[in-house]
Amino acid sequence: MNQLIKTIETNDEIAVSGRELHEFLEVNSNYTTWFERMTDYGFEEEIDFIPNLKESTGGRRSLDHHIKLDAAKEIAMIQRSDKGKQARQYFIQVEKHWNNPEMIIKRAMDLQQLKIKQLEAEKQENLPYTNFGKIVSNSQGAINIGAFAKMMFDDHGIKIGRNKMFGWLREHGFLIRTGREYNNPKQTFIERGYFIVTPTIVSRTEGDIQTFTTLITGKGQIKIAELLINEFLVEK
């Protein structure tokens, strides 16, 4: 079917550019004035059309609208012109083509292929967690840095004790290097779920004090183990 007016298609619906429809209809008034007049007929945002900012000449951004097909048919009819009649008939043909059983099957197959690609991309993204997940298979909970250093030696022969592990984590930007919060994890890695910090009350003769212990979560263990293995075991 020849494309009289460019359509915007998803797996759910069809829309057309308001500006392209305005141009095709050869409306005398400018686009903004014309579209505001069209909305007076009761067309509603998000139901009948969706605003869309687009690049225009000179790098400026202009407001367009994605008008859904049913609304576009009504707008074409409102024009009471030969161009409006032509556009409406075209939209009716587009709708028939869209609802053709073969096209419905094709969209379903396309959607299925898209889901397969998304699952494959997700699988590739999670591959490091699959490869290194065995490291935390017996320790899904968070553990302290000394215990993690011992686990890396026991499981992979990476000889890095507690103090060296702290140093490595500082050098690689996971822990704070100076100041009052020295050796605490950086906030960004706490937010990513790599570390948690647990408070502990220590009783002393001069009074109780609060200390903090840094624990590496299961997610953090997987990520950091991946980096350690790549650095210490993988041949360059």
- Which pLDDT band holds residue 142 (cuts at 50, 70, 90)? confident
Structure tokens at 202: 């220590």
**Could you tell me the residue ranges of all domains in the chain?**
7-121, 132-232
Asked if residue 60 has pLDDT above 50, the reply is: yes
Q: Which is higher by pLDDT, 140 or 172?
A: 172
Q: What pTM was computed for the model?
A: 0.48
Phi, psi of 83, deg, nearest 5: -65, -40
Q: Mind giving me the DSSP string for 31-83?
A: HHHHHHHHHTTT--BTTTEEEEEEE-GGG-EEEEEEEEHHHHHHHHHHT-SHH
Q: Which is higher by pLDDT, 67 or 122?
A: 67
- Which pLDDT band holds residue 57 (cuts at 50, 70, 90)? low
Give me the percent of the chain exceeding a pLDDT of 70.
85
pLDDT for the residue 91: 93
- Which pLDDT band holds residue 148 (cuts at 50, 70, 90)? very high
CA dihedral 206, 210, 216, 217 (to 10 degrees): 140
